[in-house]
A and B are shown apart, each in its own frame.
Chain A
């Protein structure tokens, strides 16, 4: 989230598209009901299904799964055509004025530079014209045909309301009604918030869906505003923490990068990370990258990381591929290249695409270790459960070790919520049986591995032997110790940069926040964005003061929000070029002639003059980006791409399948279906009654939603002869499931390019373990392909077929 849950009460209009907030985030959704009840806010839902959020909405429109970019580009076209634009904001706070290289263009659904063999673009033309002064060229009058604004206008020109209706299946009148509701929020005193979740991320072009709406919010002037922003509803109580800490193969905590093979030494690595400002006076905060990187290396290797050895850069792994994401690992596993795999809180048998492939891959492992509070399907993948897990245990040689862990209510630490709040919690129960903290288990493994290196040596023992492990009890690092490490501390005295005689932090003390980190080895910090969470004031994440003097939901003394306890990102943009709030009734940032005043932590230097320094300080431009340059693999503007399995060909280029820049493994590509074989569009989702595959172990949740079902329209049910509540078989090119049919008015057939398209809804909470009735997850059916930028699997749009099935025999 750019904003926070509590801030949603400030909005005038909520659009839930690419998510189902009431269903999947019922507790946070209270802030939508608050905005509706006491601010008169309106709620729009755009979704393939009339869902639980739609049940309390003011306006609903259907959309075909996987066609969101068309809707969003159509919306941008309408906003520009009808002048529903915050001009001052767009001109000054976005890169609308920047001139783009003449070579850049788009045709036949593709941007310039496409290489079909590599499934990748040469992105060199997707960039600004740089002037002789070294800065990007701009045209503040927006008249140059090569400025981003004019390129955007021509890019969206094709997305007319008729085009939207034709591709999305959204009736034109409903689309236009929504455009008008949203258009009102271009006024300075009207604000819309976007709430989205996996309905947008789980597509092969998920990142572009989100960019589409971010562009809408910039055009309306709603980024940085109270009640505005782009608000990702994280699907898991600590998934924000997972991304922040960098539990991905290509990230270092705090969104720093793991080096690649092309960056063999530190100088090369840093050469592409100088983040020189692209416009005069701009902050370009990533210029501090070396401070965060060196402090991280000092946190890892302490005295072994020195200026002389480039902070032990050679200890870091160097990626030979963009990422070793889960889908790549399972592909490698299937090919027999993986011997041991740790599943820590990860029920992959049900949560990654193409379950048959998972089973095949797991069967090739020598050793599977599962760390989990529950007996998962993954740890029982070898067990025969009839149709629910049709395997031959005798043919599977994988050894499985289950290490029972505590669950969240049995340990202490911070969970990071969608609004970036690090909320410390305490153990509510004693762990049962042999359950151990994950940290204890990891410590035991590390200490034993280290001992082996000590005793037996090895190819490269240094990173293991020199790893900092200075916990009071090496067997059991405490959450407090780990949290203090993430905040960072001074290893030597830290001096004021403006007055080298003044000591800011004594050696051994916690740093106040990341502004005190240094690139000379005098500080350590394991995750720079969390710096400030546990400084010399103590554990700021444990604060529980719910006072809100401003009345606009800041709650500055409730826990800690990264970065720097800032609750609304880009908040400088809530004021105009003179530093006056766009909406005085919702004042967040005000320039008093000398400095910024705010109930929040200003997202800019407190004395940065309005008009000089632009609000988007993390970007080298100082502005936000309507045009993403070469920073996304699949295009600087969102462009319509069909799902890999689609009922219709891409209207721009019938030869183009899915996202042209998505990685596809050969065997998986052969398992993509056509609409001739599988005519129905399927989409997967969560239900309120359950949390993922956990709560089916709980009898209460299982009572409330006991059995796997799929949802189909009355029209499809009639066509197939399926009665409500009867049993059906659903199959794709990769697998089959049996489910109860819920026949509903909440799903309606759509008309897409003259063709009737039926949608099948497949919720995801059942498996063969636990208290609920045995069932399946949608991943038995889904294709193995992910988002081109971040490899999130395409769970939200794929092809299946449905037929009536015999009732299950009574056991």
Chain B
């Protein structure tokens, strides 16, 4: 037996779960959509991360099943469209999805079946949050989790535009945006994400980002010993790093994994839009005092100006058209 990296702190199905020491709550928010001058929390939580090791993933979809069960969603029973991928895409009822791609390695001529669990990457620099014009609809905690606060969501779809990974989906039923929460409700009480808990091969593990990087290093060394010379960690710096990371056998070619972006960045349109958002957001907040109780902020109703809405719709429509042309 070789020396092993520290075991993930939570959500390891066997041995049993060891809870994280610290939970978190609204006091740990560091960024709020359409809100400037967020008071900085008194404490800084450990940065957390989910690590998805594609070389250990068997594509069993236990993660999808656990996600449906934990979040109590009810995705449609669809059809088979010539793939193992079901539902066909992420949707407001399905926050994570195994994407299957059959790739013939040009160097060896061997087939590789690359199975990637897709879902929110929880960017350190979250494009969705930057793009969001609705105050308090998207927040980021000091541990890195990016969460949608649905009562504040106006369903404008800017977050879709802002996301370099094409993750959020707008519900046609309640006109809110949905994505993986990194099981913020579980993590808040010292448990790991449901998907990691359910993963039978520990392809999904969860813990502090530092531990996850150490764990990934061990996995990458193992993959290199098996001839995957370009094995590596996917923690893209274009978005400031992510709190969901992948171990890739071919880290030099992320796009072979069902179009994982080679070098994700927040769209320049969103970066430009950001200034306006801030202003509009502040206007919406009106007399809301800086430092108002965050609980109040979360539970407040949605109000935006007509101007905001029009601009948002135009932006989203053009962008959605570009992105979804091939769906």
Which residues does A use to contact B, with CB under 8 Å?
Answer: 22-23, 26-27, 29-30, 33, 36-40, 42, 50, 52-56, 58, 60, 546, 688-689, 699-709, 723-726, 740-746, 771-773
Q: Are B1 and A38 in contact (CB under 8 A)?
A: yes
Q: Are B58 and A688 in contact (CB under 8 A)?
A: yes
Q: Does B226 sit within 8 A of A, measured CB to CB?
A: yes
Q: Which residues of B are found within 8 Å of A771, using beta-carbon distances?
A: 77
Number of cross-chain contacts by CB at 8 Å: 131
**Given A689-B61, A706-B79, A742-B80, A36 and B113 touching (CB < 8 A)?**
no
**Given A26-B62, A56-B56, A740-B82, A703 and B102 touching (CB < 8 A)?**
no
Q: Are A725 and B201 in contact (CB under 8 A)?
A: no
Q: Which residues of B are found within 8 Å of A746, using beta-carbon distances?
A: 102, 111, 113
Choose, from B63-71, B152-160, B162-170, B282-290, the stretch at the interface.
Answer: B63-71
B residues 212-226 near A (Cβ < 8 Å) are 218-219, 222, 225-226
| Sample (10) of A-B pairs whose CB atoms are under 8 Å apart | A55-B115, A546-B15, A688-B58, A688-B59, A688-B60, A689-B60, A704-B61, A705-B61, A707-B78, A743-B82
A707 to B86, CA, bound (A): 10
**Given A699-B74, A741-B82, A26 and B2 touching (CB < 8 A)?**
no
**In whole Å, how far is B70's beta carbon from the nearest beta carbon of chain A?**
11
**Given A40-B222, A60-B110, A30 and B82 touching (CB < 8 A)?**
no
A27 to B82, CA, bound (A): 27
Contact with A along B79-115 (1 / 0, CB 8 A): 1111110110000001000000010100000111111
**Given A52-B59, A706-B77, A746-B102, A40 and B111 touching (CB < 8 A)?**
no
A42 to B225, CA, bound (A): 11
A723 to B56, CA, bound (A): 31
Closest to A39 in B: B1
Q: Which of B56, B60, B86, B102 contacts A37 (CB 8 A)?
A: B56
Q: Which residues of A are found within 8 Å of B219, using beta-carbon distances?
A: 37
Q: Which residues of A are found within 8 Å of B305, using beta-carbon distances?
A: none
Q: Are A745 and B4 in contact (CB under 8 A)?
A: no
User: Given contacts A29-B58, A52-B60, could you give 7 more A-B pairs where the C-beta distance is less than 8 Å?
Assistant: A27-B200, A30-B201, A40-B2, A53-B58, A56-B56, A745-B102, A772-B77
Q: Which residues of B are found within 8 Å of A546, using beta-carbon distances?
A: 15
Q: Are B59 and A33 in contact (CB under 8 A)?
A: no
Q: Which residues of A are found within 8 Å of B76, using beta-carbon distances?
A: 703
**Given A55-B59, A746-B111, A740 and B2 touching (CB < 8 A)?**
no
A245 to B2, CA, bound (A): 42
Q: Are B61 and A55 in contact (CB under 8 A)?
A: no
A360 to B224, CA, bound (A): 58
A652 to B226, CA, bound (A): 40
Q: Which of B2, B112, B203 contacts A38 (CB 8 A)?
A: B2
Q: Which of B61, B62, B113, B201 contacts A50 (CB 8 A)?
A: B113
Q: Are B77 and A773 in contact (CB under 8 A)?
A: yes
**In whole Å, how far is A552's beta carbon from the nearest beta carbon of chain B?**
10
A29 to B56, CA, bound (A): 10
Q: Does B202 sit within 8 A of A, measured CB to CB?
A: yes
A746 to B61, CA, bound (A): 19
Q: Are B65 and A33 in contact (CB under 8 A)?
A: no
Q: Does B75 sit within 8 A of A, measured CB to CB?
A: yes
Q: Are B1 and A705 in contact (CB under 8 A)?
A: no
Q: Are B56 and A33 in contact (CB under 8 A)?
A: yes
Q: Are A703 and B75 in contact (CB under 8 A)?
A: yes
**In whole Å, how far is A421's beta carbon from the nearest beta carbon of chain B?**
15
Q: Are B200 and A701 in contact (CB under 8 A)?
A: no
Q: Are A29 and B200 in contact (CB under 8 A)?
A: yes
Q: Which residues of A are found within 8 Å of B58, using beta-carbon distances?
A: 22-23, 26, 29, 52-53, 55-56, 688
Contact with A along B139-178 (1 / 0, CB 8 A): 0000000000000000000000000000000000000000
Number of interface residues of B (CB under 8 A): 49
A56 to B114, CA, bound (A): 9
A37 to B222, CA, bound (A): 7
Closest to A546 in B: B15
Q: Which residues of A are found within 8 Å of B62, using beta-carbon distances?
A: 26
Q: Which residues of A are found within 8 Å of B202, using beta-carbon distances?
A: 30, 33
**Given A36-B222, A52-B59, A56-B58, A30 and B86 touching (CB < 8 A)?**
no
**In whole Å, how far is B61's beta carbon from the nearest beta carbon of chain A?**
5
A705 to B219, CA, bound (A): 30
Q: Are B82 and A725 in contact (CB under 8 A)?
A: yes
Q: Are B115 and A700 in contact (CB under 8 A)?
A: no
**In whole Å, how far is A74's beta carbon from the nearest beta carbon of chain B?**
22
Q: Which of B77, B81, B112, B218 contacts A702 (CB 8 A)?
A: B77
Q: Which residues of A are found within 8 Å of B258, using beta-carbon distances?
A: none
**In whole Å, how far is B259's beta carbon from the nearest beta carbon of chain A?**
18
A546 to B15, CA, bound (A): 9
**In whole Å, how far is A556's beta carbon from the nearest beta carbon of chain B?**
17
**Given A40-B2, A54-B113, A688 and B104 touching (CB < 8 A)?**
no
Q: Are A703 and B4 in contact (CB under 8 A)?
A: no
Q: Does B57 sit within 8 A of A, measured CB to CB?
A: yes
Q: Which residues of B are found within 8 Å of A689, using beta-carbon distances?
A: 60-61, 86
Q: Does B14 sit within 8 A of A, measured CB to CB?
A: yes
Q: Are B55 and A56 in contact (CB under 8 A)?
A: yes
Q: Which residues of A are found within 8 Å of B55, using beta-carbon distances?
A: 56
**6 nearest CB pairs, A to B:** A725-B82, A724-B82, A22-B58, A707-B80, A55-B113, A740-B80
Q: Which residues of B are found within 8 Å of A38, using beta-carbon distances?
A: 1-2, 4
A741 to B75, CA, bound (A): 23
A30 to B59, CA, bound (A): 13
Closest to A808 in B: B79
Q: Which residues of A are found within 8 Å of B102, using beta-carbon distances?
A: 744-746
Q: Which of B57, B61, B69 contacts A56 (CB 8 A)?
A: B57
A30 to B15, CA, bound (A): 12
A501 to B84, CA, bound (A): 69
Q: Are B80 and A700 in contact (CB under 8 A)?
A: no
A54 to B81, CA, bound (A): 23
Q: Which residues of B are found within 8 Å of A60, using beta-carbon distances?
A: 110-111
**In whole Å, how far is A465's beta carbon from the nearest beta carbon of chain B?**
50
A488 to B60, CA, bound (A): 42
Q: Are A29 and B77 in contact (CB under 8 A)?
A: no
A704 to B77, CA, bound (A): 8
A22 to B62, CA, bound (A): 12
Closest to A704 in B: B61
Q: Which residues of A are found within 8 Å of B114, using beta-carbon distances?
A: 55
A52 to B60, CA, bound (A): 8
**In whole Å, how far is A481's beta carbon from the nearest beta carbon of chain B?**
32
Closest to A28 in B: B200
Contact with A along B187-222 (1 / 0, CB 8 A): 000000000000011110000000000000011001
**In whole Å, how far is B81's beta carbon from the nearest beta carbon of chain A?**
4
Q: Which residues of B are found within 8 Å of A741, using beta-carbon distances?
A: 82
**In whole Å, how far is A400's beta carbon from the nearest beta carbon of chain B?**
28
**Given A56-B58, A701-B65, A704-B86, A30 and B200 touching (CB < 8 A)?**
yes
Q: Are B80 and A26 in contact (CB under 8 A)?
A: no
Q: Which residues of A are found within 8 Å of B81, using beta-carbon distances?
A: 725, 740
A22 to B55, CA, bound (A): 13
Q: Are A745 and B79 in contact (CB under 8 A)?
A: no
Q: Are B65 and A704 in contact (CB under 8 A)?
A: yes
Q: Which residues of B are found within 8 Å of A26, using beta-carbon distances?
A: 58, 60, 62, 200-201
Q: Which of B14, B78, B104 contacts A703 (CB 8 A)?
A: B78
Closest to B215 in A: A37
**In whole Å, how far is A63's beta carbon from the nearest beta carbon of chain B?**
15
Q: Which of B2, B84, B200 contacts A742 (CB 8 A)?
A: B84
**In whole Å, how far is B9's beta carbon from the nearest beta carbon of chain A?**
18
A430 to B61, CA, bound (A): 28
**Given A688-B59, A741-B82, A30 and B14 touching (CB < 8 A)?**
yes
A702 to B64, CA, bound (A): 12
Q: Which residues of B are found within 8 Å of A22, using beta-carbon distances?
A: 58, 60, 201
Q: Are B64 and A704 in contact (CB under 8 A)?
A: yes
Q: Are B82 and A700 in contact (CB under 8 A)?
A: no
B residues 1-31 near A (Cβ < 8 Å) are 1-2, 4, 13-15
**In whole Å, how far is A554's beta carbon from the nearest beta carbon of chain B?**
16
